[in-house]
Chains A and B, each alone.
Chain A
């Protein structure tokens, strides 16, 4: 089953020389962990934001499980899609529990169900419910905050998760832990993940498939292995090459 599909999607922001999305076509199967890789300004964030309608395309269509998202109420649509951003955006005046329970409360879940689900989801992101549920965001480290960010997006069990450089501001050690845990959560759930990153290692480590974008165009959409073996064009080849050079440097112990 196709989870997310973009057909001839175009988006131009005023003041930009090229389109943020330039006739983008992509079809993502359910259960896929798709990482979207590109440098800043390549349109990768714009792409995922057309899925939950934070951006509206100038032309083209976006489908979520076969339904045109532009024909849906954006608020209802967003409640069915998990959304995680780099700046995390936890609400500072709410406890961890209330942050995670934001949408369940709007949906009027019973209090007992909310508490049970919050505890379950906290365990899923490797935080002890007893220790963390009554804390405020200011009392958490960056890594812990993003775990709550993930928990908040996962609580309603969305079929699609949109993650916009979620680990971009987290230190290297915690980032690696979070990557592993996210990979685990994904493989247990079989939900569809769209994960934006500019870190090539992260993209290839996490993705069951990788989208490589440049100047609003999708250059290649394939498994990591395929991309490494058969890069679609010179740009992709160069991109992989830079990454290998970096890896070699690090492995030689010469530093960068």
Chain B
């Protein structure tokens, strides 16, 4: 306990920069994953073949441990933030992609018919009706991805991308349990807190669903 307090007294500014680095890598990875997964999901949801290929492909990539992906990427991209973000993006794509596909597949038919019947063109129906109706399920996929990425971003430190993993790996190397507790605890709290905030945003954005 004393060691933990000491750590925060002496290394506070380093802690903050590692925390911010962790958050930054996580945000970048999830945003990148959204940029790939959402348009891809919207493009393929209508086609069974496309769905199967994309889901299998990213499903397979996901089975490969993130650590292995990181190491495979070293000869291609070197070390640091970039390969870490790529590895975490690969991890984040499947839940967002699958939920996007399911969200669009499950769009309620009567609302689509109403939209078409009243005279919306394809683009208007997409932006005004389909996307907002698909949003809750897509959001759930994004939430899953965020929580996974925050936990996995520890590994980024392994190839020199920084983040809270630095504290944990230092603790492992020096066998200092206080550092393991600080690092692990911070990741757990960050993950829970993010989950909570995302849930509150979800409640606000879907307030129309409540009677």
A residues adjacent to B (C-beta < 8 A): 52, 54, 75-81, 83, 85, 87-94, 102-103, 106, 136-139, 149, 152-153, 162
Complex formed: what's the CA distance from A76 to B120 in Å?
9
Judged by a CB distance under 8 angstroms, whether B2 is at the interface is no
Known: A78-B116, A78-B118, A106-B124. A92 touches B133 (CB 8 A): yes
Closest to B109 in A: A87
Q: Are A52's CB and B117's CB within 8 A?
A: yes
Closest to B132 in A: A93
Complex formed: what's the CA distance from A75 to B129 in Å?
16
Interface extent on B, as a size class? 20 to 34
Shortest distance between the CB of B115 and any CB in chain A (Å): 8
Complex formed: what's the CA distance from A103 to B121 in Å?
11
Judged by a CB distance under 8 angstroms, whether B47 is at the interface is no
13 A-B pairs in the complex with CB atoms less than 8 angstroms apart: A54-B113, A78-B116, A79-B118, A79-B119, A89-B110, A89-B114, A90-B111, A91-B111, A103-B120, A138-B208, A138-B211, A149-B114, A152-B118
Does more than half of chain B's interface fall in helix, strand or loop, or is it mixed? Answer: helix
B residues adjacent to A (C-beta < 8 A): 108-111, 113-121, 124, 128-129, 132-133, 135, 208-211
Q: Are A75's CB and B121's CB within 8 A?
A: yes
* Cβ–Cβ < 8 Å partners of B111 in chain A: 89-92
* Cβ–Cβ < 8 Å partners of B115 in chain A: 89, 91
* Cβ–Cβ < 8 Å partners of B211 in chain A: 138-139
Q: Are B209's CB and A89's CB within 8 A?
A: no
Complex formed: what's the CA distance from A48 to B60 in Å?
49
| Sample of 20 more A-B contacts, CB < 8 Å, known A85-B114, A93-B133 | A52-B117, A54-B113, A75-B120, A78-B117, A79-B119, A81-B119, A83-B114, A83-B117, A89-B110, A91-B114, A91-B115, A91-B129, A91-B132, A91-B133, A102-B118, A103-B119, A106-B119, A138-B209, A138-B210, A149-B114
Shortest distance between the CB of A79 and any CB in chain B (Å): 3
* Cβ–Cβ < 8 Å partners of A152 in chain B: 118
* Cβ–Cβ < 8 Å partners of A136 in chain B: 208-209
Complex formed: what's the CA distance from A92 to B129 in Å?
9
Shortest distance between the CB of A147 and any CB in chain B (Å): 15
Complex formed: what's the CA distance from A89 to B133 in Å?
12
Complex formed: what's the CA distance from A40 to B97 in Å?
39
Q: Are A93's CB and B208's CB within 8 A?
A: yes
Q: Are B121's CB and A92's CB within 8 A?
A: no
Q: Are B118's CB and A103's CB within 8 A?
A: yes
Known: A102-B128, A138-B210, A138-B211. A88 touches B119 (CB 8 A): no
Complex formed: what's the CA distance from A77 to B108 in Å?
24
